[in-house]
Amino acid sequence: MEFAYRTDVGQKRADNQDYVGLFKNEVGATLAIVADGMGGHQGGDVASEMAVSHIGYAFEKTAATDIAIAAKWLIFELQKENDLILARGQQFSDLTGMGTTIVAVLILANRFVVANIGDSRAYLYRHNHLVQITEDHSLVNELVRSGELTPEEAENFPRKNVITRSLGVAPDVDADVNIYDMMKGDMLLLCSDGLTKTVPDAAIADVLASNEELGIKAQVLIQKANDAGAPDNVTALLVNANGEDDDND
């Protein structure tokens, strides 16, 4: 299994409120997380860092060997972290209203769990085909699903940044959690919306299809977002079902 990630402030923001992490537990399973913080003076980066570090460090102490148990653990930890972020926001006035999107992949043997809240995404690249395996929890996606907007109209929808679910904003967590089989040669991409709002899926697929090293692919994705103006922070985390671990920036 090979891993690489890159994160960048983008072209318009002063600070990077994305946070990314890779963690291994006591039986060698891996948890990869990308979070995109929002709200408050410094609230966004506090919320995203809390979510990634707390859940990641808790994972390092686990030893589950059953994927269904691992999925239940992840749901429990998301609710626990939601409560912590809510409490921190209520404790400090400059953090009021902070929250974060989150997308996480927990890989155990030849299966993996995907969990997401918000519009940070997970993609599966298999047999030269890219498929989004998470559902955006956003206003624009709800309008497309209901038929009120066409996909073409959604491209220019003025409220594309409005998300309908996030971690740390409401008392109850409503995460999408799914389990998949991992096949040899599979590649997973976890990313913040700073990538997907500027780089089309077809261009992402072209990068993943290249013969470059995994770390270079992650860097090229970031560069494509920056070349397109990158109005938001940009994060890309790649997992390849072949190869050695990669150094990460």
**25-48 pLDDT, tens per residue?**
999 999 999 999 997 557 999 999
Is residue 134 one of the residues assigned to a domain?
A: yes
Is residue 245 one of the residues assigned to a domain?
A: no
**85-88 LR contacts (CB < 8 Å, sep 24+):** 85/47, 85/50, 85/51, 85/167, 85/168, 86/168, 86/169, 86/171, 88/46, 88/47, 88/50
Tell me the pLDDT of the chain averaged across its residues.
93
Give residue 55's pLDDT: 98
Give residue 161's pLDDT: 80
Is residue 248 one of the residues assigned to a domain?
A: no
Is residue 149 one of the residues assigned to a domain?
A: yes
Q: Please write the tens of the pLDDT for every residue from 70-107.
A: 999 999 999 999 999 999 999 998 898 899 999 999 99
Q: What are phi and psi of 164, to 5 degrees?
A: -100, -15
Is residue 212 one of the residues assigned to a domain?
A: yes
% of the chain exceeding 90 in pLDDT:
82
Is residue 175 one of the residues assigned to a domain?
A: yes
Question: Does the pLDDT at position 241 exceed 60?
Answer: yes
Question: Does the pLDDT at position 247 exceed 60?
Answer: no
Is residue 246 one of the residues assigned to a domain?
A: no
Is residue 249 one of the residues assigned to a domain?
A: no
Q: Please write the tens of the pLDDT for every residue from 5-19.
A: 999 999 999 899 999
CB 238 within 8 A of CB 17: no
Structural domain tally of the chain? 1
Residue of 249, 93, 97, 106 whose CA lies nearest to 175:
106
Residue 7 sits in a domain of what CATH number?
3.60.40.10
CA distance 58 to 65: 16
Domain assignment of residue 136, given as a range: 2-240
% of the chain exceeding 70 in pLDDT:
96
Q: Please write the tens of the pLDDT for every residue from 137-190.
A: 999 999 988 999 988 888 878 887 889 999 999 998 999 999 999 999 999 999
Give residue 93's pLDDT: 87
